[in-house]
Amino acid sequence: MNIIPFPDRTEWPALLARPVQSTQQIDAIVGPIMNQVRTGGDAALIELTQRFDKVTLTADTLAVSPVVLDAAEAQLSDELKAAIRQAYQNIRTFHEAQRQPVEKIETMPGVTCWRRSVGIDKVGLYIPGGTAPLFSTVLMLGVPAQLAGCREVVLCTPATHPAVYFAAKLVGITKVFQIGGAQAIAAMTYGTESVPKVYKLFGPGNQYVTAAKMLAAKEGTAIDMPAGPSEVAVYADDTAVPAFVAADLLSQAEHGPDSQVLLVSTSRKLVELVNLTLSTQLGKLPREAVASKALDNSKAILLDTPADAIDLLNDYAAEHLILSVADAEQVAEQIINAGSIFLGNYTPESAGDYASGTNHTLPTNGFARAYSGVSLDSFVKKITVQHITPEGLQVLGPVVEAMAEAESLDAHKRAVSLRLASLAEMNPA
């Protein structure tokens, strides 16, 4: 790792900057793909899948058949099935606790307001294929969709691993399509003969998938959040275990060569020990080449004080933030910008990635300053409801009349005044 000792605060923005992607170039590629699917439907999906993935599909094989979905379970070891089921249960338990009961509030006598949660009717989940079958992401997106009561859940993925199909069946998804990339996002955005159009898109992906989601958002399809390469920041002091810290950095680096890895510390000794351990552990990874490329762009930043470290971490707004420091929970209270926080020496980021219960679909690229990770709320709409009794309108009505008149919206005032006049006629003084 590149060690940067005690940088001046004026240097922080440059040090914390993510790699800049040429959005114009990417959009120039993705835009035509989106349009081809919009106009060509299934035929376009078949052609694009052959062109980009070298996979031959037909109109009959775009969708994964129920027979294939059912057969997936028998292809997995009992150990893996048990692990997936346990992860499912933990994720479900955590997200189920996010349900909000309807609470009616009487803001003044006779005026009652409340809101209720309604599942988004049609949602689309994207699961990347790439070099790893991300069946864990099927759970992370499928469980809250299941709990929210979304009527139609569509899953698109180029991954054909049976664990992906097993996880899909576990969360009740029956509409699975073996298409990937920007064309999958386009299919769920516009709809084709086979793939239903959805109202909101979820899921990670490469820069082309991300660009497609952003274009979909411009055309009225909601998305979970802007996304970029996955990232981790680790804040460690002399109470940290260097081998653990190195393992956490590598677990993020192996996602892809564009993954972001940042170590922050006030201890030069700790940073040097982590660097030594990184080299040893890196050589043992099957994905060494991928992780090595990510580490080439990684940084270890030494700072003078814990207060400086917290300020820098809040400026960075990491997707994943590991606090391997003394009094980690107290330090966490000072963090205002992060997607998900992991406390202490025995809380690896990989636990959250898979099975602790929290969601691993999180804001990247600094968007944790304003966005939350995926939750049950991501899959519902909050609809407000109000009811006013005749007695309530007599109290509230004059307030509304005065405000509407001041804004020169006479029709708004009249809607109240007519009702008040009617009540006066029915109940003359």
Q: Model confidence over 173-184: pLDDT tens digits?
A: 999 999 999 999
* Residue 190 CB contacts under 8 Å (≥ 6 apart), including other chains: 34, 37, 38, 197
Rounded CA-CA distance 241/270 in Å is: 9
Query: Which residue out of 231, 254, 319, 349 is catalytically annotated?
Result: 319
Clarify whether 319 is annotated catalytic: yes
Q: Can you list the domains of the chain with their CATH numbers?
A: 2-19+229-357 (3.40.50.1980), 23-101+118-227 (3.40.50.1980), 389-426 (1.20.5.1300)
pLDDT of residue 326: 97
**Helix or strand or coil: residue 195?**
coil
> Nearest to residue 338, comparing CAs of 368, 306, 364, 367?
368
Binding-site residue ranges for substrate: 230, 252, 255, 320, 353, 407, 412
Q: Which two tokens stand for residue 212?
A: 């497609």
pLDDT, tens digit only, all 429 positions of the chain: 899 999 999 999 999 998 766 788 899 999 999 999 999 999 999 999 999 999 999 999 999 999 999 999 999 999 999 999 999 999 999 999 999 999 999 999 999 999 999 999 999 999 998 667 899 999 999 999 999 999 999 999 999 999 999 999 999 999 999 999 999 999 999 999 999 999 999 999 888 999 999 999 999 999 999 887 889 999 999 999 999 999 999 999 998 888 889 999 999 999 999 999 998 999 999 989 989 988 988 999 999 999 999 999 999 999 999 999 999 999 999 999 999 999 999 999 999 999 999 999 999 999 999 999 999 999 999 999 999 999 999 999 999 999 999 999 999 999 999 999 999 999 876
Is 161 part of the annotated catalytic residue set? no
Q: Are residues 378 and 224 in contact, defined by beta-carbon separation less than 8 angstroms?
A: yes
User: What is the pLDDT at residue 256?
Assistant: 82
The token pair that represents 382 in the structure block: 């909050």
- Give the dihedral of Cα atoms 359, 361, 365, 366; nearest 10 deg: -30
CA 346 to chain CA centroid, nearest Å: 24
Q: How many CB atoms sit inside 10 A of residue 265's CB?
A: 25
Residue among 122, 165, 173 nearest 143 (CA): 173
* Structure tokens belonging to residue 111: 């005026």
Which of 253, 240, 323 is closest to 281 using CA atoms?
253
Q: What is the pLDDT of residue 131?
A: 67
Question: What are 61-95's pLDDT values in tens digits?
Answer: 999 999 999 999 999 999 999 999 999 999 999 99
Query: Which among 320, 333, 360, 391 is annotated as catalytic?
Result: 320
Which amino acids are annotated as binding site for Zn(2+), given as ranges? 252, 255, 353, 412
The single-letter code of the amino acid at 159 is A
Residues 139, 317: Cα–Cα separation, whole Å: 25
AA identity, residue 153 = V
278 Cα distance to chain centroid: 29
Report the binding-site residues: 126, 183, 206, 230, 252, 255, 320, 353, 407, 412
pLDDT for position 22: 72
Alpha-carbon distance values, 139 to 41, 51, 382, 394 (Å):
28, 30, 23, 51
